[in-house]
Each structure stands twice: as structure tokens, then as C-alpha cells.
Amino acid sequence: MRLSGLATVIVGVCAVWEDNSNSALKGQNPYHIAHPNPHPNPHEAAPFRNQSLTAEQLLEFHKNGYLVIKNAVGSEHVSKALRYINRAIEDATKGRPVKDDEGTGNWHWRSHPAIMNLYRKGLAWRYSENLMGEKNFTVPTAAQVAIRYPLPGNKHAPPQLERNGWHLDGWQYGRGGTNQFSLLVGVALNPWREEMVGNFVVFPGKHHEMARNLAAEGGEEALRVALSKSPGPDLDVDPVQIIAEPGDIILAHSLLPHLPGPNHGHDIRYAVFFRVAHDQKDQTQFEDLFCDFEPVKTAFLQEN
């Protein structure tokens, strides 16, 4: 079944989150979005000024809604982040059985320099500028630490992932929609060298469809209702499980459907996500999918 409009999505979509249901029940948001911020940090200059995305990469982002950048964060920053995350797990659990993400929502850990340097000291900041324009956004001040524990051994990996397990960030917290930020930046902290090891999973190109549906009359409410249902609609494209090494980053449009893949491996899946919003973010704007990505729009218009 092809998703032709969000009015037809009332049948529902499974919002696959990283076991943050307890936070949701308490009215807490485990994600930090760098917008709106009543006291924004000064627009500093990003490092690696000699590095830039190519025109081909900007066009790929326009078409597919995401990019994977290899070796974007140095190994020393990856190692320091892992050390602090593992300390957070120990402090939170005191030897008890743990759930995905337990302990990592503590603000101290989410905003610690060891976590923030994954964005500030690598290519993520510079490439955010390449996508959104220089000095057009507030640098994040905290992150989502996202860990996926291995599933029990009696749960066997499916031959492939279903097309109906996607979500868009933000909607399940009832705060008015997913359009609160512009760019999702993910950092892999351990190897994802094969599928079914907790990979970040994307549905290429479907950000265009999401924007069209949300712009239609009643689209926001239709999606909000859909996200409360399960299973969801078939997006008519096979999901892609990102293969990554420690220090690789994913840059994804905020309207790109995605999900955390199941971890049928034997290691914990470690990742950190940053959410970046354009300073002029209009949360009601869906007609112009790339209004927050002027360099991407320019590259597309020059090509076409």
C-alpha cells in the first residue's frame, strides 16, 4: 500500500523509540533541541574551515534526505564519550538489570564536554554549516545518548525489516509536531559493520512525501493520530540500515522517516544524536521542505 496522504495514515504508524516511554509518561522530553533558546550561545566559527560538502553531496541530501560521512569524529573524542556513557550506566543502575537508554537522560551526561565534543570538535558542526548556511543556527548545548542493548538470544533476526516501523522525531510527546528542529546529526560510537546490530535505519527520499502530506489540510493532525497506532503504513521503499564505523556521522533531514534497528548482535549499540534548528525556524512551515537548507536549495536549482 502506498502512502498517498496523511489522511490515509489514520490506520497508524508504529513509533519505534529507544525505550523512552517512562520519560514520555512523566511529560519529559529526552531530546534536547537547540531551538528555541531564549539565551542562544554566540555564533562561533566551526572548526575544519577547509572542509566542505561537495555539490554532489548537497544534491544527495536533497534527494535522499541524509548523508553518511566517514571518519568525521576523531578516535580520541569517541573514546572519551564512550567512557562517560559507560560511567553513566554504572551510576544509574548500581548493578540492576538495565533498559535501553537508562541513565543516559541525566542532564550532566547529555551536556558533558565528552559528549558535546562529538559535535563541536569534529566535522558535524562544519557540515551543518554547509547544509544550513554559516551562523544560521545555534550550536547544540546537549544531546541524546542512545544505546541499544542486545536482544535476548531467543529472538531471531527477521530476514528484513518491515516498511511500517518508522517514526518522525518529536510527535509522540504531544508538543505540537516534529517541525521543531531542522537537522538530525547522529554519531556512531561503535562498529555497525553488518545489519541487525542496532543500526540507524532510514527510508530514503521519503522526506519529500512527509512534507507534501503535512502541508495538506489536516495533515498534522492525521500524522499525530497515526503515530498513536500500530502497525503503520507501508512507505513503499525498503528501509536502509546504515553501516558505520566509530566516528562516522549521519546527517538527516528532520522529516526523514527513520527508526532504531533491532540489536541482534552481541555488543551494545552506542550512538549520540544532536538536533539542530535554524534560527528562523518556522514550526508551521511544510510547503518549502528546504527552507532551512539554503545551500541545498541553491545546489538543486543550479543543477536543474
Task: Give residue-wise pLDDT tens across range 38-61.
Answer: 444 556 778 999 999 999 999 999
Is pLDDT above 70 for 224?
A: yes
What is the number of alpha carbons within 13 Å of residue 124 lying toward its C-beta?
30
Contact between 69 and 176 (Cβ < 8 Å): no
According to DSSP, residue 44 is labeled P
Is pLDDT above 90 for 256?
A: yes
In this prediction, residues 118-141 reach a mean pLDDT of 94
Average pLDDT, the chain: 82
Closest by Cα among 93, 90, 89, 88 to 108: 88
Reading the block at residue 208, the C-alpha cell is: 519529500
Reading the block at residue 255, the C-alpha cell is: 522529516
Is pLDDT above 70 for 173?
A: no
Q: Fill in the amino acid letter for 8.
A: T
Is pLDDT above 70 for 6?
A: no
CB contact set of 191 (below 8 Å; sequence gap of 6+): 244, 245, 246
In this prediction, residues 268-296 reach a mean pLDDT of 93
What is the number of alpha carbons within 13 Å of residue 144 lying toward its C-beta?
26
Predicted structure pTM score: 0.84
In this prediction, residues 215-239 reach a mean pLDDT of 82
Of 15 and 122, which is predicted with more confidence? 122
Which of 6-20, 83-97, 118-132 reaches the highest mean pLDDT? 118-132
CB contact set of 101 (below 8 Å; sequence gap of 6+): 18, 19, 20, 30, 145, 146, 147
Reading the block at residue 226, the C-alpha cell is: 497515526
Is pLDDT above 80 for 19?
A: no
